[in-house]
Structures are given as structure tokens and as C-alpha cells.
Amino acid sequence: MADQLDAQALDEVVTFTSDLIRIDTTNRGGGDCRERPAAEYAAALLAQAGTEPVLLERTEGRTNVVARIEGTDPAADALLLHGHLDVVPAEAADWSVHPFSGEIRDGVVWGRGAVDMKNMDAMILAVVRAWARQGVRPRRDVVIAFTADEEASAEDGSGFLADRHAALFEGCTEGVGESGAFTFHDGAGRQLYPIAAGERGTAWLKLTARGRAGHGSKVNRDNAVTRLAAALGRIGAHQWPLRLTPTVRAALAELAALYGLETVGPVDPRDPEGTDALLDKLGPAAALVEATVRNSANPTMMQAGYKVNVIPGEAVAYVDGRFLPGTEDEFRATLDRLTGPDVEWEFHHREVALQAPVDSPVFARMRAAVEAFAPEGHVVPYCMSGGTDAKQFSRLGITGYGFSPLKLPEDLDYQALFHGVDERVPVEALHFGVRVLDRFLRTA
Ligand SMILES: [Zn+2]
């Protein structure tokens, strides 16, 4: 199948990325964000392509956009295509160019959101408009959702859509969003394209230790700070056991085969040493799996006391915990044990873990679309260490994949650009992405 996108689509994906970056949708958390101008921009482009986008707000200014393209096969399940409109903050003084300039310089589009994820939003818009010009209709219904609030709680975004506007997603069985199908250079000349088929769950924990307040010079065996510190020390030092989910197992097997490491033997969850040895041998590519072979819990914040000679009656800490699909009960029991009887813990924020099949037709089509335009690349499944809007859409029974294709040169480290300084994306990477997305959607 030849490349079926026209030249206008290649121009538009660049223009739309740059335009969307110039619309400052910084999400500072706590409700401090305004996506509406970006939502109106996207809705206007969708309407020009003959769709009927609806704008939806739970909170004034926190706008989501949803549109549906009718497929040719009414019996087929629908596919959700989603991208968020908000971005994380950027400190202009740290950047080489202004983070909201959208400047295109030397073939590169610069600015906050260039890879997370106004690039994907622009690719979706460019594909839909190209289809309108060419009279293309996909086989399945394609539901497009541009969301608010992904970079904070999602309560004004995908959470609101899933809870209050489920009818707009009727028939959707699978969803595609961030982040996957970007080039991962392994340092030895190989180009990997990880496609996400799962996410660890989010368990942000609040720990509270109580004790007896008193003078700092007296004997005190009920010191809340000491109790909290001991619990945090146990949590930080805990060696979480190996837990291989189907996605991670598939990732390890494909990587082992790619690197000629079959001699290590089959990936066996009862053999943590074998798996750790395999990770060692994978070198830089181990970064694609090492954060998802175990649960994790990292202490991140502490609050206690107000004066050096006063023992406070209470001490509070926060822990960033993440759990793999199928391990939440074990995670909770482990936290009960590690915190002990003197420290209470509760969820400050909790989100489900996701598991998507890698042997599905839709995964095969994503793989084929990448391989068509990057024949030198190797697609591998992976599990995301963190989370995306796919968690909220999973409440509607939608199986989520991470697929926002980008072909990146070796000197651009995708993971460093994500939420990083000087976030940018080459024009050629956008051209690759829009071609791959078009191919995938035509065949999905
Ligand atoms: Zn994102």
C-alpha cells in the first residue's frame, strides 16, 4: 500500500502542532488551567472536515471535544482515538526558545507539548481532514476525543467524559492514545518502537504517624517523627518481588529474541535472578521494562514539626506508589506490613492498572503500520510505568493502547523531552507520525 496522505496533510500536521503549542494550556494543577481556546481550535478544524464535534465542560473553561466519524461497517466495534490538550508548566528562562512560541527552526517545531502531546492532537486533525478531502471512511467508527486535565486529576477531562458522557463512546472497545511507537535508540544501532499495552496503577499514599507531643529534651518513646521516618525507611528499602504481567513477559521475550539472548532461558517469574540477568544483558533497552517488572513505592514528601525543641504529635508523609495489573491486593498488604501498627496509610489518589492483549488484531495493525514506514525498526510491546487518560476510559470497557507514532533521531531522547526543557519535535518525525497513524486507522 503506497503512502496515501496528500502533501497538504504533511503541511497541516506541522502547522497544527505549532498553532496548538502557541495556545498556552499550562495545567498547574488545582484547577489552574484553561483548555477552551485549544478545544475551539480543534473543534473548528474537525467541523471543516465534516464532523460534528461537541464541546463539553464540567468546569468553565476546561473544555473537552468529542467527534465521531462513521465507519463503513456498521457491525464493527468503534475505535477511540484520544489526545489531551493541556501541558505541564514550562519555565521560559530555562529554554532556548520561548516554550509557547511554536517556533519552527531548522526543521524542528519547538515548544511545550511538542511531544506531550499536541503532536498527536495535530496528527489526528491532519488525518481526519485528509480523509474528508479524499472521501475516505474507515471501516470502524472512529471516536475522537481531545481532553482537558490529563496532566492533573483528569476530573475535568477524561474522568468527566467517562462518567457523564458515556453515550458518546458507545461501541468503543479499544482506544489509542499516548504514549508509544516513538523511536527508542538502544545505543548499538537498533531502533525499537515500543507500543504500550498496559499501565501500572497509581497509588499515591498519605502516611500519618501519631505520637505524644512534648518537650524535645524529655524521654519520648512515642515520637511521631521517629515512627514516620522508620516507616519511610522500610518502604524506601523494600525489595519488591518480581511480578511479570503478560505484556511485560511478551516485551522481555521479544527483546531477548531480538538481542539473541534466548540462551538465558524462558522468562520465569520464579527466577528473579534470571530476569535481572536478562535485564543486565539488554543494556539501554532494559529501560523499556525495568520499571514494570515490579511494583514500586518511593517516599516523596514529608511534613512534621515547627520548632527544633518541640516533638510534634503528628507527622505526615507522601509516597508515590505504582502497582502492576493484578497486584493491587498484594501492594496493599505489603504497605500494611511496612508501615506497621504506629503509622496509618490511605490513598491520596488511586487509579487502576491496565492490561491490554498484545496478540490482538489491533496490536498487529499498529505494528504493521510502524513497520511499513520504519522497516529498519523493531516493534516491541511495553507496559507504561505511569498512567494516561486510558485509565478513565477503561471504565467504559475500552481497552487502552499507547500509540502516538514518532520517528526520532538518535540525538533526541524522547523520555528527556517529555515534561522536559526544550521540548521539540522534528518536522520529519511529525510526517512519519501522521503517515503511520493514517495507515493504522485505514486498516484498523
Ligand atoms: Zn501526556
The Å distance, Cα 150 to ligand 1 centre, comes to: 7
User: d(Cα 253, Cα 289) in Å, to the nearest integer?
Assistant: 11
Burial of 133 from C-beta contacts in 10 A (0-12 / 13-18 / 19+): exposed
- Which grid coordinates are listed for 32? 489552574
The Å distance, Cα 334 to ligand 1 centre, comes to: 30
The mean per-residue pLDDT over the stretch 289-316 comes to 97
* pLDDT class of 87 with cuts at 50, 70, 90: very high
- DSSP state, residue 139: S
* pLDDT class of 3 with cuts at 50, 70, 90: low
Mean pLDDT over each residue of the chain, to the nearest integer: 95
User: d(Cα 398, Cα 381) in Å, to the nearest integer?
Assistant: 18
In order, the DSSP letters of 266-324 are S--TT-HHHHHHHHHHHGGGGGGTGGGSS-EEEEEEEEE-SSTTEE-SEEEEEEEEEE-
- DSSP state, residue 385: S
Give residue-wise pLDDT tens across range 328-337: 999 999 999 9
Type of residue numbered 151: E
The Å distance, Cα 388 to ligand 1 centre, comes to: 7
The Å distance, Cα 26 to ligand 1 centre, comes to: 12
Domains of the chain from N-terminus onward: 7-179+388-443 (3.40.630.10), 201-349 (3.30.70.360)
* pLDDT class of 267 with cuts at 50, 70, 90: low
* φ, ψ of residue 52 in degrees (nearest 5): -120, 80
271 pLDDT higher than 80: no
User: d(Cα 142, Cα 131) in Å, to the nearest integer?
Assistant: 12
pTM of the model: 0.93
The Å distance, Cα 307 to ligand 1 centre, comes to: 41
Give residue-wise pLDDT tens across range 179-226: 899 999 999 999 999 999 999 999 999 999 999 999 999 999 999 999
The mean per-residue pLDDT over the stretch 77-105 comes to 97
Q: How many CB atoms lie within 10 A of CB 216?
A: 12
263 pLDDT higher than 60: no
The Å distance, Cα 232 to ligand 1 centre, comes to: 30
* 3-class SS of residue 41: helix
Q: What percent of the chain has pLDDT over 90?
A: 89
Pairing of strands 310-311, 214-215: antiparallel
- DSSP state, residue 154: S
Residue indicated by cell numbers 521494562: 289
In order, the DSSP letters of 20-37 are HHHS--B--STT----HH
Name the residues annotated as catalytic. Answer: 86, 150
Contact indicator for 128, 52 with CB cutoff of 8 Å? no
The Å distance, Cα 257 to ligand 1 centre, comes to: 31
Q: How many CB atoms lie within 10 A of CB 385?
A: 16
The Å distance, Cα 125 to ligand 1 centre, comes to: 17
- DSSP state, residue 94: G
What are the CA-CA distances from residue 42 to residues 16, 17, 129, 346, 368 (Å)?
Answer: 9, 11, 11, 39, 28
Contact indicator for 129, 9 with CB cutoff of 8 Å? yes
* pLDDT class of 264 with cuts at 50, 70, 90: very low
Give residue-wise pLDDT tens across range 138-169: 999 999 999 999 999 999 999 999 999 999 99
The Å distance, Cα 151 to ligand 1 centre, comes to: 7
The Å distance, Cα 302 to ligand 1 centre, comes to: 27
